[in-house]
A and B are shown apart, each in its own frame.
Chain A
Amino acid sequence: MPNIRGDAMRGLAVFISDIRNCKSREAELRRINKELTNIRQRFRADKTLDGYQKKKYVCKLLFIFLLGHDIDFGYMEAVNLLSSNKYTEKQIGYLFISVIMNSSSEMKQLIIQNIRNDIQSRNPIFINLALQCVANIGEREMATAFTNEIPRLLISGDTIDPVKQSAALCLLRLHRTSPDSLQLNTEWTARIIHLLNDQHLGVATAAVSLIDALVKRNPDEYKGCVNLAVSRLSRIVTSSYTDFQDYTYYFVPAPWLCVKLLRLLQNYPPPDDPSIRSRLNECLDTILNKAQEPLKSKKVQHSNARNAVLFEAINLIIHMDCESTLLVRACNQLGQFLQNRETNLRYLALESMCLLAASEFSHEAVKKHQETVINALKSERDVSVRQRAVDLLYAMCDRSNAEDIVQEMLTYLETADYTIREEMVLKIAILSEKYAVDYKWYLDIMLKLIRIAGDFVSEEVWYRVIQVVVNRNDVQSYAAKIAFEALQAPACHENMIKVAGYILGEYGNLIALDPRSTPMIQFELLHSKYHLCSPTTRSLILSTYMKFINLFPEIKQHVQDILRHDSNFRSSDVEIQQRATEYLRLSEICSPTVLATVLEIMPPYPEKQSPLLVRLKQKKPLMEAEPSGETPTTPGAHTDDGPKLADTAIHLNQQHQQQQQNGLLVSLDTIESNGHYNESTSYSLPSSSVPSAAPLQSAKKLLFKNSDIIFENDIIQIGIKVEIMKSILRVEFYYGNKTNSNLTNMSSSISLADELDPDLRINMEPIKSSIDPKAQIKQAGTIECIKDYGNLPKMNVAFFYSNVPQKIDFPLPLYINKFIEKAEMDSNNYFLRWRNLDKPDQECQKIFPAKFPMNHNECSQKLDSFGWSDLAGIDVNADNFCGAGILHTTAQQIGCLYRLEPNKQAKMYRLTIRTSKGGVAARLAELLEDQF
């Protein structure tokens, strides 16, 4: 029997036991359904359920949910528990909400109200529960609701320590989920920073995490934390473990706090103040010294805790990258770990050494361990450790050891795990190109690479081989020679055939005088592989054949025979058929001189960053939160940025490669892939200049769109992109320089119709001061709607173009509808609300002639993109449109309803709008009256 302790709810325990005793999935389902029916009845019938029973049933529902079943009721009862004055009931209520959190917006308001009551209560236990709930599920609305209360709790002298801890992390959560809504008063900064000094180490531990996040957003404002962090750290590492009884973990004083402090310091450069700096260096020195002391316990917990601090200290040393003695000491310490019995330590040492290898101070010191690392590659049992060894070899590679390292990696590749082969291939390819003194060596390595790991050679790799050969005259004949030799192997990887085929087509003539590789022999050798290849490779080989006609006119007849052969000329593969047909025709009708021009040797590729590096950065599948959760700007999400950037880069590369691949065919009319435009930029600049300034011909541009060009003349183009979040718009302006000279002294501001009583709060980041020729810069920020408005703000842009000041003013087409959020409702609800809005200024009606053909779908689309819903089936007349929206302003939420009635005979529309706030209806109607 399960061992049930304490005052557990008996009914719950029995239910859990029942579930555990179920022999089958079906039995379990039956038991659950029985329970759900029971609970539903209890909730429905018994109004007199007491708190205990409510708690028990809500807890059962929670258990059922955690088993993986949907729960569609009981939310209200859970919320009711929040207002109980018993801890156990409140706790279950909060737990249910935190775990299931699927509440409607009305529920949300109720929850927020309950949380507020608890936060304002005098009971620290209740305050804590409420704060923990906010820390678990807090989002924008809670950030707005508690923007003052929670910071107060954090810095008030009356608050007890556990509440401070929760308050700090609660703020962190709100800061991460909605940085714009959480406004921290700058007067609080100093007090927040001083939490690092708090007597209670738990408060300091929680606070560092908050400060770390705030620092990332505003490093200057929180600069004072460096000093405090260093002195706190120093006090901990120089003290004996007996000084921190509660916070000593296996003889290590406050290891987690130390780690957090060391990480906090990695947000800043080394301290300028010499006394702080030397104190910090002493700390780091002490930590390194302690690592040499004999262990105080044989327990792994002791060494782990000690080394957790040590590794973080090494991270900081690497981050500061200025104290060569510390860097070398760190490297020696890691070198010892490479031989440690603990796999964890070997793994982490390899990982940290990778970073050390990048520093000029420690690069040489790292290289001393080459032998050990190569050994790790051969002997480690855990593939992830071997992976780290590969990473480190890659990082420590330079011209002096490249040949050895590449050779070792090639040897290992033959037996390496499948999971890391592709990455190894890339690394070998990159290193051998980067450090090649002799490109013959490079080619030898690359062909060997394709031979032993052909399946793992991605397209980028073999494209790159070809690029290198095409761009280097001195290796072309050698390339032709070894490619030819490689083809002689009885079994050839298809990637090898591609590379060899391409190279022979370009440079086969360079080895044709050798009687062992005459044109006919080359052709026959290549053709002996032809039938084993995929259609893509065959197409490529057909191009080679065509090139042969130019290089070796004597075998033209043979090539034509092949092209004419049914398997090509009538191939079921369209690409092959097309090439065969076109090539054949070309070879028949063109004079040798024309052919020579068409089939000319490939021009050198433009030198760019190797696509291999981009490929290497490509990441595994990502784990991302729901969009409703963290916004992309949260510091917590910064890890995502890397891969995303890499993705775009890859996208560009693929485009480029696409062209290269086509190039094999397109080369017939000389390749023009050089200098193609980066098309992924949202506002690429047109090459022809647009006639003089033309601000906003179609004035209401942005009415139905979220991005557009809002200004353009001969010099500059300004685009906007907005993203709506209730009363706040995330805005991005794009400024494109259309000229061939710099635009300097850029400034941009937005002025409001009434500065004294602003209806918008504008918060734009500073704009860059200059724009390079033909380049584009971005300026991001937010615009908050405080109350509804009619006059558009004005955009003022000024800059210098060839030393002549330019000034541009125009209305920013940010209409009030941008703040409307769609609302869905049924017809009862709709008409009920409609009837309630019956005061004269709540309604506005406009009758106007149709400007465009009266198309139902187009109208519907426009209404939809205007921001409110298009509710089908509400109006009895299917031709009419009805819908609703909520206009979000900071001051209030304004309900908006509309009805649009087309009259096709008269080619007229009647638009009626009703809004909960007077006057708004007229504004909206004005915006729409000439748009249909």
Chain B
Amino acid sequence: MIRFILIQNRAGKTRLAKWFMNFHDDEKQKLIEEVHALVTVRDAKHTNFVEFRNFKIVYRRYAGLYFCICVDVNDNNLAYLEAIHNFVEVLNEFFHNVCELDLVFNFYKVYSVVDEMFLAGEIRETSQIKVLKQLTTLTSLE
């Protein structure tokens, strides 16, 4: 199960934080900082997986942004690694060549994309065509 999804830039600014567990606000802040410290020191020769407390982080870096998914230790690493990429491709299509600022200015839309693809800590929909079709329908609504 996914425990949370974080998108952070190199400086540690959070661009998306989606929590699938109930945490206190202080705890959230601590987790964000810890994850940032954990992934930014790793380089391309390292794996895309890091143990994190009693869970693990599967992450991938796109330009200046780190996409991190925290999952249970026995979850499938590669499946979540590609789930990140699938998500990024959808964002890229939806925002026509996505950049960090799109995520800032349209933060409320990013949540909609997440809800289409991940729900209750599980993968909900994996077809890019279906997700994008749904998102286009939603965008056309008032």
The residues of A with any CB-CB pair to B shorter than 8 Å are 2-6, 8, 13, 16, 20, 59, 62-63, 66, 68, 86-88, 91-92, 95, 98-99, 125, 132, 135-136, 162, 165-166, 169-170, 172-173, 176, 201-202, 205-206, 209, 245-247, 249, 254-257, 259-260, 263, 301, 304-305, 307-308, 311-312, 343-344, 347-348, 381-382, 384-385, 619-623, 625-626, 628-630, 636, 639-640, 643
On whether the beta carbons of A135 and B120 are closer than 8 Å, the reply is: yes
Is the CB of B31 closer than 8 A to any CB of chain A? yes
From 78 to 130 in chain B, residues with beta carbon under 8 angstroms from any chain A beta carbon are 78-79, 81-83, 85-86, 95-96, 99, 101-102, 104-108, 111-112, 115, 119-130
Which residues of chain A have C-beta atoms less than 8 A from B83's C-beta? 256
Considering the complex of A and B, which 9 residue pairs feature the smallest CB-CB distances, nearest first? Answer: A629-B22, A308-B78, A209-B122, A87-B141, A246-B127, A173-B120, A169-B120, A169-B119, A308-B79
On whether the beta carbons of A304 and B78 are closer than 8 Å, the reply is: yes
Least Cβ–Cβ distance between B83 and chain A, in angstroms:
7
On whether the beta carbons of B78 and A305 are closer than 8 Å, the reply is: yes
- Whole-angstrom distance between the alpha carbons of A347 and B51 in the complex? 12
Which residues of chain A have C-beta atoms less than 8 A from B55's C-beta? 623, 639
- Whole-angstrom distance between the alpha carbons of A522 and B82 in the complex? 65
Which residues of chain A have C-beta atoms less than 8 A from B95's C-beta? 5
- Whole-angstrom distance between the alpha carbons of A621 and B129 in the complex? 41
From 1 to 50 in chain B, residues with beta carbon under 8 angstroms from any chain A beta carbon are 1, 3, 14, 17, 21-24, 27, 29, 31, 42, 45-50
Q: Of B23, B29, B96, B126, which is within 8 A of A205 by CB?
A: B126
Which residues of chain A have C-beta atoms less than 8 A from B138's C-beta? 87, 91, 125
- Whole-angstrom distance between the alpha carbons of A723 and B119 in the complex? 30
Q: Of A91, A169, A382, which is within 8 A of B45 by CB?
A: A382
Nearest to A348 among chain B residues (CB) is B77
On whether the beta carbons of B82 and A135 are closer than 8 Å, the reply is: no
Which residues of chain A have C-beta atoms less than 8 A from B23's C-beta? 625-626
On whether the beta carbons of A622 and B54 are closer than 8 Å, the reply is: yes
- Given A2-B105, A3-B101, A623–B3 Cβ distance below 8 Å? yes
Which residues of chain B have C-beta atoms less than 8 A from A347's C-beta? 47, 49
On whether the beta carbons of A202 and B124 are closer than 8 Å, the reply is: yes
On whether the beta carbons of A6 and B139 are closer than 8 Å, the reply is: yes
On whether the beta carbons of A16 and B105 are closer than 8 Å, the reply is: yes
Q: Of A301, A348, A640, which is within 8 A of B82 by CB?
A: A301
On whether the beta carbons of B119 and A166 are closer than 8 Å, the reply is: yes
- Whole-angstrom distance between the alpha carbons of A628 and B130 in the complex? 36
On whether the beta carbons of B47 and A301 are closer than 8 Å, the reply is: no
On whether the beta carbons of B119 and A135 are closer than 8 Å, the reply is: yes
The residues of B with any CB-CB pair to A shorter than 8 Å are 1, 3, 14, 17, 21-24, 27, 29, 31, 42, 45-55, 72-74, 76-79, 81-83, 85-86, 95-96, 99, 101-102, 104-108, 111-112, 115, 119-130, 134, 137-139, 141-142
- Given A87-B141, A382-B47, A626-B24, A621–B82 Cβ distance below 8 Å? no
- Given A16-B104, A384-B50, A626-B22, A125–B141 Cβ distance below 8 Å? yes
On whether the beta carbons of A344 and B124 are closer than 8 Å, the reply is: no
- Whole-angstrom distance between the alpha carbons of A603 and B122 in the complex? 56
A-B contacts, 7 listed (Cβ < 8 Å): A8-B106, A135-B115, A247-B126, A255-B82, A311-B77, A312-B76, A639-B54
Least Cβ–Cβ distance between B5 and chain A, in angstroms:
12
- Given A206-B122, A381-B46, A348–B78 Cβ distance below 8 Å? yes
On whether the beta carbons of B124 and A205 are closer than 8 Å, the reply is: yes
On whether the beta carbons of A619 and B105 are closer than 8 Å, the reply is: no
Least Cβ–Cβ distance between B30 and chain A, in angstroms:
10
Which residues of chain A have C-beta atoms less than 8 A from B78's C-beta? 304-305, 307-308, 311, 344, 348
Q: Of B86, B96, B142, which is within 8 A of A86 by CB?
A: B142
- Whole-angstrom distance between the alpha carbons of A61 and B77 in the complex? 36
Nearest to A628 among chain B residues (CB) is B22
Least Cβ–Cβ distance between B81 and chain A, in angstroms:
6
Least Cβ–Cβ distance between B43 and chain A, in angstroms:
9
On whether the beta carbons of A4 and B112 are closer than 8 Å, the reply is: no
Which residues of chain B have C-beta atoms less than 8 A from A176's C-beta? 120
- Whole-angstrom distance between the alpha carbons of A665 and B80 in the complex? 56
- Whole-angstrom distance between the alpha carbons of A16 and B141 in the complex? 24
A-B contact count (CB 8 A): 189
- Whole-angstrom distance between the alpha carbons of A741 and B129 in the complex? 68
- Whole-angstrom distance between the alpha carbons of A909 and B115 in the complex? 59
Q: Of A63, A86, A384, which is within 8 A of B49 by CB?
A: A384
On whether the beta carbons of B79 and A312 are closer than 8 Å, the reply is: yes
Which residues of chain A have C-beta atoms less than 8 A from B108's C-beta? 59, 62, 91-92, 95
On whether the beta carbons of A639 and B123 are closer than 8 Å, the reply is: no
Least Cβ–Cβ distance between A351 and chain B, in angstroms:
9
- Given A125-B141, A348-B77, A382–B46 Cβ distance below 8 Å? yes
Q: Of A4, A166, A259, which is within 8 A of B76 by CB?
A: A259
- Whole-angstrom distance between the alpha carbons of A21 and B112 in the complex? 27
On whether the beta carbons of A619 and B54 are closer than 8 Å, the reply is: yes
- Given A249-B86, A308-B82, A382-B47, A623–B53 Cβ distance below 8 Å? yes
Nearest to A6 among chain B residues (CB) is B139
Which residues of chain A have C-beta atoms less than 8 A from B77's C-beta? 308, 311, 344, 348
Nearest to B53 among chain A residues (CB) is A623
- Whole-angstrom distance between the alpha carbons of A550 and B51 in the complex? 53
- Whole-angstrom distance between the alpha carbons of A625 and B86 in the complex? 28
- Given A91-B108, A628-B22, A256–B79 Cβ distance below 8 Å? yes
- Whole-angstrom distance between the alpha carbons of A2 and B96 in the complex? 14
- Whole-angstrom distance between the alpha carbons of A305 and B48 in the complex? 14
Residue from B51, B72, B105, B141 having most chain A Cβ neighbours under 10 A: B105
Nearest to B137 among chain A residues (CB) is A125
Which residues of chain A have C-beta atoms less than 8 A from B119's C-beta? 132, 135-136, 165-166, 169-170, 206
On whether the beta carbons of A165 and B124 are closer than 8 Å, the reply is: yes
Which residues of chain A have C-beta atoms less than 8 A from B47's C-beta? 343-344, 347, 382, 384-385
- Given A165-B125, A623-B3, A202–B76 Cβ distance below 8 Å? no
Which residues of chain B have C-beta atoms less than 8 A from A5's C-beta? 95-96, 102, 106
- Whole-angstrom distance between the alpha carbons of A902 and B53 in the complex? 53
- Whole-angstrom distance between the alpha carbons of A329 and B130 in the complex? 37
Which residues of chain B have C-beta atoms less than 8 A from A254's C-beta? 126
Residue from B24, B107, B129, B139 having most chain A Cβ neighbours under 10 A: B107
- Whole-angstrom distance between the alpha carbons of A344 and B56 in the complex? 14
Nearest to A250 among chain B residues (CB) is B82
- Given A301-B82, A622-B54, A344–B125 Cβ distance below 8 Å? no
On whether the beta carbons of A620 and B53 are closer than 8 Å, the reply is: yes
Which residues of chain B have C-beta atoms less than 8 A from A98's C-beta? 111
Least Cβ–Cβ distance between A182 and chain B, in angstroms:
13
On whether the beta carbons of A20 and B45 are closer than 8 Å, the reply is: no
Nearest to A166 among chain B residues (CB) is B119
- Whole-angstrom distance between the alpha carbons of A878 and B39 in the complex? 58
Q: Of B21, B122, B127, which is within 8 A of A201 by CB?
A: B127
Which residues of chain A have C-beta atoms less than 8 A from B127's C-beta? 201-202, 246-247
Which residues of chain A have C-beta atoms less than 8 A from B134's C-beta? 162
- Given A205-B125, A206-B125, A629-B21, A308–B76 Cβ distance below 8 Å? yes
Residue from A255, A312, A629 having most chain B Cβ neighbours under 10 A: A255
On whether the beta carbons of B45 and A381 are closer than 8 Å, the reply is: yes
On whether the beta carbons of A169 and B122 are closer than 8 Å, the reply is: yes
On whether the beta carbons of B50 and A20 are closer than 8 Å, the reply is: no
Q: Of B54, B81, B99, which is within 8 A of A640 by CB?
A: B54
On whether the beta carbons of B22 and A246 are closer than 8 Å, the reply is: no
Which residues of chain A have C-beta atoms less than 8 A from B76's C-beta? 259, 263, 308, 311-312
- Whole-angstrom distance between the alpha carbons of A628 and B24 in the complex? 10
On whether the beta carbons of B124 and A623 are closer than 8 Å, the reply is: no
- Given A2-B101, A256-B83, A636–B48 Cβ distance below 8 Å? no
Which residues of chain B have C-beta atoms less than 8 A from A257's C-beta? 126
- Whole-angstrom distance between the alpha carbons of A8 and B110 in the complex? 13
Least Cβ–Cβ distance between A257 and chain B, in angstroms:
7
- Whole-angstrom distance between the alpha carbons of A345 and B78 in the complex? 9
On whether the beta carbons of A343 and B46 are closer than 8 Å, the reply is: yes
Nearest to A92 among chain B residues (CB) is B108
In the complex, besides A257-B126, A344-B81, A348-B78, 19 extra interface pairs with C-beta distance below 8 angstroms are A13-B105, A16-B105, A59-B108, A62-B108, A88-B142, A98-B111, A166-B119, A166-B124, A169-B119, A202-B124, A205-B125, A206-B122, A256-B126, A259-B79, A381-B45, A623-B3, A626-B23, A630-B21, A639-B74
